[in-house]
Copies of this chain bind each other. A is one copy, B any other.
Amino acid sequence: MTPVPGSAFKVAAIQFEPEFGAVDRNLAAMEAHIRAAHAQGVRLMVLPELADSGYVFETQSEVARLSGPIPGGPSTDFLCSLAAELGVWIVSGLCEVAGDAFYNSAMLCGPDGFIGGYRKLHLWNRETLFFAPGDLGLPVFDTPLGRIGMAICYDGWFPETFRTLADKGAQIVCVPTNWVPMPDQPEGAEAMANTLHKAAAHSNGLYIACADRVGTERGQPFIGQSLIVGPNGFALDGPADKTSERILIAEVDPSGIAAARKISEYNDVHADRRRDVYS
């Protein structure tokens, strides 16, 4: 069934544990989670960062071995076929090769195949040793579900990421991520990653669906706590726990964004900016 543009639909943030280097195993796990979400009526699936390859690279040759073209590589082809079979849209983080360069990327596909790619703009820690910084800007794709943007993990630390996507008309931002512990995170405090995405959703009137991974890879722990946030900045589902695989599901209604931005009789939180003043 083709959705009516702008009508409500379900999004899933799929929190799972990829295994480093096990691309076929990871794609099979993604497929199982996507089929499970589809069985619950989900139309848009969001999977973690580098979901096909795993995250903790130690050499450039590992990156080369585990990356593929977007589109045209085996991971993208696999997800595009699944999206076509199920009639769903999928955003996943994938390890990309393009010529001599490697990118920490995400791709969006739908029932009619590949739609577009995104390359992480803000590289985190040792990613800078293996990946080139993104060179595709912050694209927004018009789909029958609504206007979809993508951001990856550390991109979310920059309010400008969501500002730019909102200014380009995004209604939902899909965030494949591999969140790691922040320095000085106090025991019991909300994960800063959650705080940042709630703030961004509120200030921009955006839906944001963050799919994190869990587990520890080559000594690097990941924090789970995937989250789907509504355009008022409050959680629609999640945060998930820190260690379990879990599918978060929430309803997205792009037609409600304008009302969410009207946070008082005289205010629109997205329109009230004083661009004459900012640096």
Measured CB to CB, the nearest residue on chain B to A198 is B195
A213 contacts B by Cβ under 8 Å: no
Measured CB to CB, the nearest residue on chain B to A231 is B184
Q: In angstroms, how far is the closest chain B Cβ from the Cβ of A95?
A: 19
Q: Which of A25-33, A64-72, A266-274 contacts B (4 or more CB under 8 A)?
A: A266-274
Q: Which residues of B contact A128 (CB under 8 A)?
A: 266
Q: Which residues of B contact A198 (CB under 8 A)?
A: 192, 195, 199
Q: Determine if A278 and B202 form an interchain contact, defined as CB atoms under 8 angstroms apart.
A: no
Measured CB to CB, the nearest residue on chain B to A129 is B266
A105 contacts B by Cβ under 8 Å: no
A265 contacts B by Cβ under 8 Å: yes
Q: In angstroms, how far is the closest chain B Cβ from the Cβ of A157?
A: 6
A156-183 with Cβ < 8 A to chain B? 157-161, 163-164, 167-168, 182-183
Measured CB to CB, the nearest residue on chain B to A167 is B279
Q: In angstroms, how far is the closest chain B Cβ from the Cβ of A236?
A: 10
Q: Determine if A157 and B269 form an interchain contact, defined as CB atoms under 8 angstroms apart.
A: yes
A233-273 with Cβ < 8 A to chain B? 233-235, 260, 263-267, 269, 272-273
Q: Which residues of B contact A273 (CB under 8 A)?
A: 122, 158, 160
Q: Determine if B269 and A232 form an interchain contact, defined as CB atoms under 8 angstroms apart.
A: no
Q: Determine if A266 and B125 form an interchain contact, defined as CB atoms under 8 angstroms apart.
A: yes
B-contacting residues of A (Cβ < 8 Å)?
A: 121-126, 128, 133-134, 137-138, 154, 157-161, 163-164, 167-168, 182-186, 189-190, 192, 195-196, 198-200, 202-203, 232-235, 260, 263-267, 269, 272-275, 277-279
Some 29 contacts from A to B, beta carbons below 8 A apart, are A122-B273, A122-B274, A124-B266, A124-B267, A125-B264, A125-B265, A126-B265, A134-B274, A137-B277, A154-B267, A157-B203, A158-B272, A159-B203, A160-B273, A160-B275, A160-B278, A163-B279, A164-B278, A164-B279, A182-B202, A184-B232, A184-B260, A186-B234, A192-B233, A195-B198, A195-B202, A195-B233, A196-B203, A199-B199
